[in-house]
Amino acid sequence: MAHRRLKIWITRAQPGADATAERVRALGHEALIAPLLAVHAIPDAQVNLSGVAALAFTSANGVRAFADISAERAIRVFAVGAATAQAARAAGFRLVLSADGDVQALAEGICQRRGELRGVVLHPGAAELAGDLTGALEKQGVLARALTLYETAPVELDPAAASRLVQANAVLLHSPRAAQALAAVLKIHPAPQLRALGLSKAVVKPLARAKVGPRAFPSMPLEAALLNLIDRNS
């Protein structure tokens, strides 16, 4: 029996929103693209790779931000998950290892290879990072430092658009920041019927007191696993 066609609100920032929308449509559903976050590059950001043994990325946005201002592609890359690893390979990085987990799993994966590292692990990313990767690495004796290349800011939705979007069958959330932005929307536009599907437990946590429907997250923080939740109990 064919599943019913659902309206799925995609909240992630561009250009990732368009990629997710394609996957949602491939599943036979309607994709409503309305990002709750926008990515802004830090003006005049500088990349110094002196003494850097590897790069660690916790998001595809971090990969894109680094690739936009640095031509270096031969350095080893550690990625938090499959989507970030795919973005790194698409950007031209040759040696990419994926933790297929969260920030803690990424830190553990890097620490397991500390004997191969002769220098600092550089973590290019946002002004507000999800998880303390450099702190986790330094606790294990791995030299690490963060590099701020971009910042994310909430997108203010038009009231009419917000009222329409909360009537979707489900909303996809890829980060705690997006969930925080959604929680703010729900204060004005309660949606007890809207299913909130997050990439991980940490992602849906900001919705603990929000006026939203059932919250769910996959066992692994992978977008493929997140999208599998759409047809579950729909």
The candidate with the shortest Cα–Cα distance to 170, out of 217, 109, 126, 131, is 217
Predicted pLDDT at 133:
92
pTM of the model: 0.81
Q: In sequence order, what are the beta bridge partners of 51?
A: none
In angstroms and rounded to an integer, the radius of gyration of the C-alpha atoms of the chain is 18
Predicted pLDDT at 234:
59
Domains defined along the chain, listed by start: 7-36+155-228 (3.40.50.10090), 40-151 (3.40.50.10090)
Q: Per residue of the chain (234 residues), give pLDDT as tens.
A: 357 899 999 999 998 899 999 999 999 999 999 999 999 999 989 999 999 999 999 988 999 999 999 999 999 999 988 878 988 999 999 999 998 778 888 999 999 998 999 999 999 998 887 678 999 999 999 999 999 999 989 999 999 999 999 999 999 999 888 999 999 999 999 999 999 999 888 889 999 999 999 999 998 878 889 999 999 865
Please name the residues in contact with 22: beta carbons below 8 A apart, sequence gap of 6 or more.
31
| Residues 203, 198: Cα–Cα separation, whole Å | 6
